[in-house]
Chain A
């Protein structure tokens, strides 16, 4: 069975500072990996995805994520956080390729002035 762990429930970052959100997955092979963002009262928006190839993937809104097979991790990063980035972030894994995504419980990002 596949699973996803996001160790941080809440993270507070100062505006302009760098950000890293952690994600660890459990699956026997290399799965499909995703990061989504959810603003309050909104649906989920896909930030980026990893299927294969280059382990550093670029997404929308200036986000990037790095796949590390040895650590079973797929951490999300942004060099400089903006107040509008405050939202909840979800990491997801799909081991089968049949869109049976399993989500982590999410990390709430708070941005301080």
Chain B
């Protein structure tokens, strides 16, 4: 089944403890992206990648890192999480110019 898989689905962590949210797609898509969703603010793009080793900042990249060493994987790294990064995170992938296929989301709480 064609899908985007992100893990974990739920995560509670403490301020400053490094964490990684994994994302993997099995559709051989070139493009991958991370979004965060917050009430009243909608979805905002954090980072995106157009192919292996090609990444760029989205609208809200501060406090996040990404890497794209393989085509299928696009992990999101929070080096020192803070409470304002509490949010619902979505990974997505697509072919160029096509609509994104989204993962099921990761609900992150930073205390």
Instruction: Give the distance to chain B from A59, nearest Cβ to Cβ, in Å.
Output: 10
Complex contact A44–B90 (CB within 8 A): yes
Q: How large is the interface on B (under 10, 10 to 19, 20 to 34, 35 or more residues)?
A: 20 to 34
CB B96 to nearest CB in A, in angstroms, measures 7
At the interface, yes or no: B100 with Cβ under 8 Å from chain A? yes
Tell me whether B90 and A100 are in contact (CB under 8 A). Answer: no
Interchain Cβ contacts within 8 Å, total number: 60
A101→B90 contact, CB < 8 A? no
Q: Tell me the chain A residues, 15-67 only, with Cβ under 8 Å from chain B.
A: 32, 34, 36, 42-46, 49, 51
Smallest beta-carbon distance B90→chain A, Å: 6
Q: In the complex, are the beta carbons of A46 and B40 less than 8 A apart?
A: no
Task: Give a binary string over B67-111; 1 marks a CB under 8 Å from any A CB, 0 the rest.
Answer: 000000000000000000000001010101111111111000000
A97 at the interface (CB under 8 A from B): yes
Please tell me the number of chain A residues within 8 Å of chain B, measured between CB atoms. Answer: 22
Residue B13 at the chain A interface, CB threshold 8 Å? no
Cβ B43 vs Cβ A46 within 8 A: no
Of B40, B41, B43, B92, which is in contact with the most chain A CB atoms at under 10 Å from its CB? B43
Verify if A102 is at the interface (C-beta below 8 Å from B).
yes
* Closest A-B pairs by Cβ, 5 of them: A105-B42, A99-B31, A97-B97, A103-B43, A43-B102
Q: List 26 interface pairs A-B (beta carbons < 8 Å), by A numbering.
A: A34-B99, A42-B105, A43-B90, A43-B102, A43-B103, A44-B92, A44-B102, A45-B102, A49-B98, A51-B97, A94-B97, A97-B96, A98-B48, A99-B31, A99-B33, A99-B48, A99-B94, A100-B45, A100-B58, A101-B45, A101-B100, A102-B59, A103-B35, A104-B42, A105-B41, A105-B42
